[in-house]
Amino acid sequence: MVTLLAKIFIKDSEDKIKQREAYGMLCGVIGILFNVLLFIGKFLAGTLSNSIAITADAFNNLSDAGSSIVTLLGFKLAGAKPDTEHPFGHGRIEYVSGLVVAAAILLMGYELVRDSIGKIMHPEETEFTLLVAVILIASILVKLYMAYYNRAIGKKLDSAAMKAVATDSLSDTAATTVVLLASVFTHFTGIKIDGYCGLVVGLLVGYAGFDAARETLNPLLGQPPAHEFVEKIDEIVMSHSEVCGMHDLIVHDYGPGRQMISLHAEVPAEGNILELHDVIDNIENELRETLGCEATIHMDPVVTSDEHVSETKAAMVSLIKAIDEDLSIHDFRMVSGGTHTNLIFDILAPFGFRLTDEELLTEVLQSVHEHFGDNYYVVTKIDHSYI
């Protein structure tokens, strides 16, 4: 159904932001329609059976309809063009809308838990009919379908908001299944477990809200880029023979499809500066066309024609790798004087490295002293990276 509607209402376009907005609004409208219908059906079933669990599940669907409205508005506002107050666009509104959805899910979970505890303390008779069973089974199937298409399009668009909606739909499926099984159990045994099942539903909804909040908070707080994205950047940059190395990559995320990157590219100090600048311009354009991100590249000149410098750098790399394979160096330079030689470079260590910066620096100084002797001084700083 969603695929068919997408073919009808969403036109192919080179503008990925507009495509994203169109998919988000389509899924939002469908989500509102489905959830309102499910609320009406479950509320009717809950009223007929006098079941707090089914009624609670009905109001959970009503909150989902509200969440779909928030998601729809989020995609619409996120597609707004940059302005003087928001020069990098409004893409992060999509993350905010996902967070609002998560907050609504958490609130509904709390309400369901509270009402269910009251039902446990004061149980009431419930009545289970074929109509109630049909409504609940239909609800499970619809929610499974909603989880499927929201997850699929969420992956297609890499949308945290839509993934949050998909997670919520799966939790609804589990919750309604629990309610259905409990209703059948009570009907055949007479044991009143309606309140306990409502409690389970509330806890499942609350967990889904927590998970959705985590998914949407991470990009707002500044999560590292996907490993595959970093690998593609490295592949593009290093495919140019003029580039000797790459480091200090920073990815700035202003919302899905609105990424800006900056990095340092090492180039031969002996090369023609105008020709090298042209190469860097070409790399920036290639990154923009291939990955859809704006790129700013800083050129770092390094000596490549001096055999002694190359040998010393190779030895330094070996010493660093002997400490830990996850370490690397960049911006290596040698400055020779009358009494000693300075080895100048930066050390790149991953976040959460097993040694503190002070411990790592001590090991490096000791290794250099043992290998090169007293006439070599180390001038270095330690960087941390997600690469």
Residues 75 and 20: beta-carbon distance below 8 Å: yes
Span between the terminal Cα atoms of the chain, in Å: 41
Name all domains of the chain by residue range, CATH numbers in brackets.
Answer: 2-221 (1.20.1510.10), 225-302 (3.30.70.1350), 306-387 (3.30.70.1350)
> Could you read off the pLDDT of 85-144 as tens digits, one per residue?
887 777 778 778 778 878 877 887 887 788 778 878 887 677 777 888 888 899 899 989
Highest mean pLDDT of the ranges 17-26, 161-170, 312-321? 312-321
pTM for the full predicted model: 0.61
Structure confidence at residue 12 as a pLDDT band (50, 70, 90)? low
Q: CA-to-CA distance for 136 and 148, rounded, in angstroms?
A: 18
What was the pLDDT predicted at 257?
Answer: 66
- CA-to-CA separations, 178 to 80, 106, 153, 204, 299, in angstroms, rounded: 42, 19, 27, 10, 60
Determine the number of helices (DSSP H) and then strands (DSSP E) in the chain: 11, 6
Residues 339 and 375: beta-carbon distance below 8 Å: yes
